[in-house]
Amino acid sequence: MATQVIVLNGGSSAGKSGIARCLQAVLPDPWLALGVDTLIETMPVSLQASDGGLDIAPDGGVSVGPRFRELEAAWTEGVAAMARAGARVIIDEVFLGGAAGQQRWQKALDGLDVLWVAVRCESAVAAGRELARGDRVPGMAASQAETVHRDVTYDLEVDTTHTESLTCARTIAEHVV
């Protein structure tokens, strides 16, 4: 069966969106690429800084409230429906709770052919890239680098610490059938 969904899970500044864009360029068919950043942009501004929504602490720690979870659940169903309707979809995600995040997507994507990919990056390197980007609260990269992978099961792992996004994308593309 042809791969219908590619899930890229990794911490902030691990390089997921760069890999997603490279995948869109190297895969022969057109793929949609969306993820948690797309979801956040579609939410009301007020939910991006409240305890009912998304809360980013001064040290970069991220917590998520019940109103965020409700919208996220419907969003997840919708993205799965895009894949069922025939779109090939790359999902760029941060499983804040590790395995619990994966379970949410597994349930929604049930019956679809999914390639689960870990995007790893050494904490210190991701923190340096976070500094170079200049648009993220410092500390997010380091606090997420390990925790997002806790008890998550993958088909494939790539590591951007010493490997370019394009090379990682080519490795992933070889597993897309």
Tell me if 70 contacts its own copies by CB under 8 A: yes
Q: Which of 51, 59, 77, 113 binds its own copies (CB under 8 A)?
A: 77
* Site membership for its own copies, residue 65 (CB under 8 A): no
Question: Does 104 help bind its own copies (rule: CB under 8 A)?
Answer: no
- Residue 159 is among the residues annotated as catalytic for this protein: no
C-alpha distances in angstroms, 23 versus 27, 38, 57, 84, 169?
6, 18, 32, 20, 5
| C-alpha dist (Å) from residue 38 to 2, 46, 60, 110, 173 | 25, 16, 19, 22, 23
> Residue 153 CB, nearest distance to its own copies (Å)?
25
Closer residue to its own copies (CB): 57 or 73: 73
List the one residue out of 163, 117, 172, 121 whose CA is nearest residue 146. Answer: 121
For 57-93, b/e burial (b = at least 16 CB within 10 A) is: eeebebeeeebbeebbeebbeebbeebeeeebbbbbb
Question: Does 113 participate in binding its own copies (rule CB under 8 A)?
Answer: no
Least CB distance to its own copies at residue 5 (A): 12
State the minimum distance, in angstroms, from the CB of residue 47 to its own copies.
6
Q: Which residues bind its own copies (CB under 8 A)?
A: 15, 18-19, 21-22, 24-25, 30-34, 38, 41-47, 53, 67, 70-71, 73-75, 77-87, 125, 128-129, 131-134, 162, 164-167
Catalytically active residues are 37
